[in-house]
């Protein structure tokens, strides 16, 4: 579950980047959770549940707000993130 939560934080960051917003995941989390990483069975590898949940909630709230404020021109634009 820790890797999955962290991966979902990364997904929110990707969405924020696509919408031209500042990403929120703590430094170093990409190396733990981005696509291509493999879950580590050692729970100590990952941040605490409180840290993961805080980052998840903050990232998804920021993405929700950014998506709600998205104008039609931006929504129709090509994906700026490669």
Indicate whether 82 pLDDT > 90: no
Dihedral of CA atoms 49, 51, 52, 53 in degrees, nearest 10, equals: 80
Q: What is the pLDDT of residues 6-65, one digit of tens each?
A: 999 999 999 999 998 999 999 999 999 999 999 999 999 999 999 999 999 999 999 999
| Predicted TM-score (pTM) of this structure | 0.89
CA-angle at 58, arms to 29 and 79, nearest 5°: 70
The per-residue pLDDT for range 44-59, each reduced to its tens digit, is 999 999 999 999 999 9
Distance, in Å, from the CA atom of 3 to the CA atom of 74, rounded to the nearest integer, reads 31
Angle made by CA atoms 53, 58, 62, in degrees to the nearest 5: 150
């Amino acid at each position: 579950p820790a890797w999955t939560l962290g991966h979902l934080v990364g997904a929110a960051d990707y969405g924020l980047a696509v919408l031209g917003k500042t990403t929120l995941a703590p430094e170093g989390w990409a190396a733990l959770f981005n696509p291509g990483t493999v879950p580590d069975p050692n729970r100590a590898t990952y941040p605490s549940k409180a840290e993961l949940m805080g980052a998840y909630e903050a990232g998804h709230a920021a993405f929700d707000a950014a998506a709600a404020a998205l104008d039609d021109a931006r929504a129709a634009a090509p994906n700026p993130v490669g």
